Amino acid sequence: MLRACLLGAALCAAIPASPAQEAEALRARHEALHAELADNQFGRPLHVKSSGASGRQKGEIFAAVETPYGTLGPALERMEHWCDILLLPVNMKYCESSAGSADTLSLFVARRPYDPLDEAYRVDFSYQVAAASEDYLHVALRSPSGPFGTRDYRIRLEAAPLDARRTFIHMSYSYTPGVAARMAMRFYLATSGRDKVGFSVVDRLPDGRPVYVDGVRGVLERNTMRYYLAVEAYLGALEAPPWERLEKRLRDWHAAIERHPQLRELELGEYLELKRREALRQEIGVTAGR
């Protein structure tokens, strides 16, 4: 049964939900999205949405994956594993994690895939495992400032088991754009991003073909999908021998991107060459790579 409170709305909101309650709420969301997960353009249980309420930009993905929670939970709980995930998108150049009184994950984000590391924007995320139980995981990455004039930059992942072999994931990516970010976005949408779209279907043409969301929401959905597909590629490589996991992650992420025309950027050979070089830099350290 979902959480109930008899103390009044204000007091109820102040009482944090337990992991069991949060897991139940996430599974209830899975049931509520039954139609969207069962019938969509992806041909699998995956749903994408986006919003821009009150100036805050947010993209979300809900998906059922064929990975047992007992495998997924421990893997995605560890901060250092998120470097393996977040380095898969083409414009991510370097990642480092540091544990202490405040766990921090630092990500170096470039404007273009081949920009050098010393031109990348450093984003320092606070890394928090808000919950990690036998049936619920909640990981939150948050930075007060993001790349290219954004602020309050967040990546969040929740997961709960559906059965012995499937896990339901909710992943979100959000930020608040500053003046510089809004200006840069307007320029992008008027030039190279003019014809690019996202995944939400907002209309249908007379012949039945879908019309996909564009503009800022299209950008949000593309970026959120890139992060989510990186999580999938990471999970898919867990069963490979350790020395084969990097190559499998890279090839699986690129193959996933290629299934969506709006996400394509580099050919496979270019992507592998770029990411193998960046993986080597990860091994020897940022100082030697700059």
Domain spans in the chain, listed from the N-terminal domain onward: 21-175+218-283
How confident is the model at residue 15, as a pLDDT?
A: 60
Contact 139, 156 (CB under 8 A): yes
The confidence score (pLDDT) of residue 16 equals 67
User: What integer pLDDT is reported at residue 286 of this predicted model?
Assistant: 56
Q: How far is residue 187's CA from residue 174's CA, in Å, rounded to a whole number? A: 20
Distant-in-sequence, close-in-space partners of 178: CB < 8 Å, separation ≥ 6: 149, 150, 151
Q: In what order do the strands lie in the sheet with 121-132?
A: 46-51, 57-65, 167-177, 150-161, 137-145, 121-132, 104-109, 92-98
| Angstrom distances, CA of residue 146 to CA of 12, 110, 123, 142, 181 | 33, 12, 6, 9, 10
Q: Which helix or strand (DSSP H or E) is residue 75 part of?
A: helix 69-77
**Cβ-based burial of 68 (10 A; exposed 0-12, middle 13-18, buried ≥19):** middle
**What does the alpha-carbon distance between residue 223 and residue 254 come to, in Å, rounded to a whole number?**
14
Give the architecture (CATH level 2) of 21-175+218-283. Answer: 2-Layer Sandwich (3.30)
Q: What local confidence, expressed as pLDDT, does residue 11 receive? A: 45
Tokens for 98, please give them: 């540091």
Taking the CB of residue 212, how many other CB atoms lie within 10 A of it?
A: 17
Q: In sequence order, what are the beta bridge partners of 169? A: 63, 159
Provide block-wise average pLDDT over 10 residues at a time, the chain (290 residues): 46 68 97 96 96 88 97 96 96 90 90 93 95 97 90 96 97 92 86 89 91 92 97 97 97 97 95 96 66
pLDDT value at position 288?
41
Spatial separation of the C-alpha atoms in residues 145 and 154, rounded to whole Å: 10
DSSP symbol at 117: G
Tell me the backbone φ, ψ of residue 222, rounded to 5 degrees. Answer: -65, -45
pTM as predicted: 0.91
**pLDDT value, residue 8:** 53
